[in-house]
Chain A
Amino acid sequence: MSTRLFGQRVPRSEDPRLVTGNGRYLDDLGHDALAAAFVRSPHAHARIGDVDVSDAVDVEGLVAVYTYEDLVSDQAEHGSRMAEALPLLIPHPTLTHGRTPYPLANGEVNHVGEAVVMVVAVDRYVAEDAAGRIHVDFEPLPAVVGIERARDGGRLVHEDVPGNVAAVMVQQTGDADAAVDAAPHSLELELEIERSASMPMEGKGVLARWDADDQSLLVHTSTQTSTSVRQAVAAKLALPVDRVEVVTPDVGGGFGVKIMHPWPEEVLVPWAARRLGRAVKWTEDRREHFVSSAHERGQLHRVRVGYDDEGRLLGLSVRFWHDHGAYIPYGLIVPIITSTQLLGPYKPGVYRVEFTSLYTNTVIVTPYRGAGRPQGCFVMERVMDAIAAERGIDRTVVRERNFIRPEEMPYDHHLVFQDGRALRYDSGDFPASLEKLRKLVGWDDFAAFREQARAEGRLVGIGLACYVEGTGVGPYEGGHVRVESDGTVVVSTGLTSQGQGHQTMLAQIVADELGVPFDRVRVTTGDTRRFKYAVGTFASRTAVMSGSAVAMTARRVREKAMRIAADALEASPEDLEIVDGQVRVKGTSPSGANVSIDLGTVAVLSNPLRYAFDDAARRATQFASPADPARAPISPGDAPGLEGTEYYSPTQSTFANGMHAVVVETDPDTCEIKILRYCVVHDCGTIVNPMILEGQIHGGVAQGVGGALYERMEYADDGQLLNASFMDFLMPYSTEVPTVEIDHLETPSPLNPLGVKGAGEAGVIPGSAAIASAIEDAEGFPIRRMPISPSELFHLRQEHQS
């Protein structure tokens, strides 16, 4: 047998292209396309009056200017649906007041950055020249900014949404408040997390080409879901779906923001391309990304918890307010995830959660890596630390006492998860993970280190946080595998890639299943010309969903190969094996005619039409058996070609888990917070490629550190985003990110053929929780609000001194 690739640190096949400047990202395509730019609202809330374009029309190179009126007339004349509001992607019965934006603002703007006018010109410089000369009359309205202002309901974002409330949702397993009241001990906490954002290094972008001869549209977009963009564009432009294809080129990071779709630009650019009969491209600039894409994380939580003398939870009642911005096209996914994943590895006793999702005049909120989990983890872990402090118990011990035990798996929380299915953990060994973490960070030796530091006049603290992450949500993902006559194996899956190394990881799985060398496998993702049905890349689902799908498909293709090869070699399929792309009788050496046959030749044999275009076809003639005149060349139920398509569709999510421990040092004078150590124990089931997995964890931790110490969206009361640049929105550089020490625990998922659980988001989830825990430990007073800056720490110190 050749060595199994599953579990190996296989170098990425993507890299040679990307490191030599040969990647193809959205703005690298369509050099001759027209360029689009947008006039965006400078106001957080305003009515739109006249739009005066007279100054712009003499800009040389201007091609077109579009306002909402043009969408209305297009709808009237061509039957498109461009003048309708964009879809509410994920409706929910509790989402009683869902409002979504129009592609171009219709009479009113609700956040700074909302697109009002679209300009198309020969290049972006000229398009921006023209956009700068368009005058829009705005009548400013009072802005609603922040959870408190939204909640008091005195000002409204949308006139027809009372109290700014889009949804109130409750889930409970019993009377939690009664359980808290009856408990021997109880605590109340208010906990807050501020806004951050995915902030991929490449913003969004769309290129559309209309082919008038073929009456078809080819769209490239920097998305996490090409199949759904295809459906959306076809519906909006009223084109038959089979006249629209959407291709995802190389994508410079997504982290959630690109799962949202269709963005206004994703329908406007194709629409303009079709109207103009020319290729049109829009590449988002960084400021546009700040003010017109999406943010996440802003939530305020109020918790009541009751527990016994040992610190065991008896009742947990959580109320929280979620700021979802001006519109809610992505529905309630983020707060639903917070409300369920908050429970982490613990048994909460009786649980009740209620959230209110509120409109504000700010950028919309859609999932950012972790998607509501960092907030939930922060809440639960702060509760654990508060109980430990109140009871005087070690923080790891309190957690241990509340863990779901491995023998209790699968564990049903009797709640409904984000996918509408049961919140039922499939696997995990939390005590074992915690033990690994204690060892890795040296939990028991920390007291000595603290004493030593104190003697040197230094303040240090240690903290930890645990989480469970529902990964690999359904409903399905598919894989297509075809063996070409030269032995190349082409694989495609519909979901997209944004840097996770899918081409490598999926090729490892297929190479193992088919018995072919890794470098014979070519993987395509996110191209609707190759694969029509897919969901997308989010919720750490690729390894679970597409990994399982391509594994199942490869197994099916292997069966067919064995059947055909058995015929040719006059052997029985059970006696055959595939090694290095050669099908052979088990145990024989790979040379010699009629003893082995290469997969390429099997592919030729699988097709009764055999023109001798290539060597493979000529080689196959030696195996051709005389045609049986009584039999059709293709038997019923069979198909030509050595290929197959299978779908993987699980009944529920898998649940990965992990635990982080952090050591921080806080400067006694400057309040600077420095991370000395960052330790991760991670259980995502079986591991396809440890190198890629560790990379995912490193990147997640960096975003967790950013969210805990640096990143926030600084909105003024009038709804201006004050820090909409990389100069002012602080993302960590290499000097801010600690070295991450990692240990793995592998408890395979019983739910899928590979035993994998997914890992994309894991690293970011416990960041704020663990770092808050460590700062609290260093300072000796509670940290209830993240992120925390040195000046905020300074004020907290002052408060706690007086």
Chain B
Amino acid sequence: MNTGSTNTEQTVAVSVTVNGTPYVVDVPPRRLLSDALRHDLGLTGTHVGCEHGVCGACTVLVDGAPIRSCLVFAVSLDGTQITTVEGCCADDGEMGPVQQAFQDCHALQCGFCTPGFITLITGYLEDNPAPTPAEASEAIAGNLCRCTGYQNIVAAVQRAAELRRPVVEERASRSPGEDR
């Protein structure tokens, strides 16, 4: 999809913070969040596998909670904080812990479903920093992958938990008393 230039559909200004950067985008009321991210903001890491809310490829975090960006209109997100797969990188722009875990565990093949899993797992580990394999499998059981058979994705959840532990500990020591 591309954004209409000669199209005079009425638009609405939406303020969102995506991956820490504030944006004001003018979008028609019917523009899906997935399309707004991909085509208005150029953040094509968020993928669209079904556009009917089943595959989870389009998962992003809104104020820390996973949502399917193909099922919401961008206008309804005014004032929110959104994290996409591009925002799951480490501070230095290198792979973040979940991303690194995906490479370590060979948890992706074609990579099309991967952004949805990475955002989902990033959000999940905030609340469940040390899941068992069964919990990890349950946690990802709403997202489809046609390539990997999931086994290595489950392993990547565990590995990510391991990799992010020092980061989390450091964060905790920097801001004691901060309640997540």
Contacts and interface: CB of A to CB of B under 8 A. Distances in A.
Given A19-B118, A250-B111, A286-B51, A27 B38 contact: yes
A740 B30 CA distance: 44
A328 B122 CA distance: 46
A122 interface: yes
Interface in B143-167: 143-154
Interface string B36-55: 00110011111111111011
Please indicate which of the listed interface residues B85, B112, B113, B118 has the most CB atoms of chain A within 10 Å of its own CB: B112
Contacts of B26: none
B104 interface: yes
A701 B3 CA distance: 40
B43 A21 contact: yes
Contacts of A60: 6-9
Contacts of A236: none
A16 interface: yes
A733 B4 contact: no
B141 A202 contact: no
B46 A21 contact: yes
Given A28-B44, A33-B2, A733-B144, A21 B84 contact: yes
Nearest to B118: A19
A61 B4 contact: yes
B150 A702 contact: yes
A621 interface: no
A292 to B, nearest CB: 16
A257 B138 CA distance: 30
Interface in B107-157: 108-115, 118, 137-138, 140-154
A28 to B, nearest CB: 4
Residue from the set B5, B7, B52 with the largest chain A CB neighbour count within 10 Å: B7
Interface string A266-281: 0000000000000001
Contacts of B8: 60
B103 interface: yes
Contacts of B171: none
A501 interface: yes
Contact of B38 (A22, A28, A695, A701): A28
Residue among A20, A27, A283, A699 with max Cβ neighbours from chain B (10 Å): A20
Contacts of A698: 148-152
Contacts of B4: 61, 122-123, 125-126
B28 to A, nearest CB: 7
A38 interface: no
B95 interface: yes
Contacts of A125: 1, 4, 28, 30-31
Q: A14, A281, A698 — which one has the most chain B CB atoms within 10 A of its CB?
A: A698
Given A33-B2, A695-B152, A734 B110 contact: no
A27 B106 contact: no
A20 B147 contact: no
Contacts of A126: 4, 7
B115 A61 contact: no
Contacts of B150: 698, 702, 733-734, 737
A251 B152 CA distance: 20
A126 B3 CA distance: 10
Given A123-B1, A737-B151, A23 B146 contact: no
A30 interface: yes
Contacts of B102: 15, 19
A499 B111 contact: yes
A253 B55 CA distance: 14
Contacts of A253: 109-110, 112, 146-147
Contact of B1 (A14, A23, A283, A725): A283
B144 A726 contact: yes
A22 B45 contact: yes
A453 interface: no
B86 A35 contact: no
Contacts of B45: 20-23
B126 to A, nearest CB: 18
A632 interface: no
Contact of B86 (A21, A285, A733): A21
A475 B42 CA distance: 41
A21 B115 contact: yes
Contacts of B3: 31, 123
Nearest to B112: A252
B25 interface: no
A434 B16 CA distance: 59
A201 B110 contact: yes
A725 B54 contact: yes
Interface in A232-267: 250-253, 255
A14 B103 CA distance: 9
A731 interface: yes
A739 interface: yes
Given A731-B144, A735-B138, A726 B151 contact: no
A596 interface: no
Most buried by A among B6, B103, B151: B151
B75 interface: no
Interface string A735-758: 101011000000000000000000
Contacts of B138: 735
Interface string A673-703: 0000000000000000001101110111111
Contacts of B114: 18-19
B23 to A, nearest CB: 16
B61 interface: no
A703 B146 contact: yes
B33 interface: no
Contact of B146 (A281, A727, A731, A734): A731
A595 to B, nearest CB: 37
Nearest to A23: B111
B147 A699 contact: yes
A200 B52 contact: no
B119 to A, nearest CB: 10
A122 B146 contact: no
Contacts of A18: 108, 111, 114
Contact of A35 (B2, B52, B145): B2
Contacts of A733: 140-144, 150
A201 B146 contact: yes
A21 B42 CA distance: 11
Contacts of B112: 23, 25, 200-202, 252-253, 499
A734 B154 contact: yes
Contacts of A15: 102-103, 108, 111
Contacts of B51: 285-286
Contacts of B28: 125
Given A61-B6, A701-B149, 14 more contacts: A19-B102, A27-B38, A34-B2, A123-B2, A200-B146, A201-B47, A201-B145, A251-B110, A252-B113, A699-B109, A699-B148, A702-B150, A726-B55, A739-B151
7 contacts: A19-B118, A21-B43, A27-B48, A201-B146, A252-B49, A255-B146, A734-B140
Pairs A-B, 3 closest by C-beta atoms: A21-B45, A499-B110, A252-B112
Interface of A: 11-12, 14-16, 18-25, 27-28, 30-35, 60-61, 122-126, 199-202, 250-253, 255, 281, 283, 285-286, 498-501, 691-692, 694-696, 698-703, 725-727, 731, 733-735, 737, 739-740, 763
Interface of B: 1-9, 28, 30-31, 38-39, 42-52, 54-55, 57, 84-86, 88-89, 95, 99-100, 102-104, 106, 108-115, 118, 137-138, 140-154
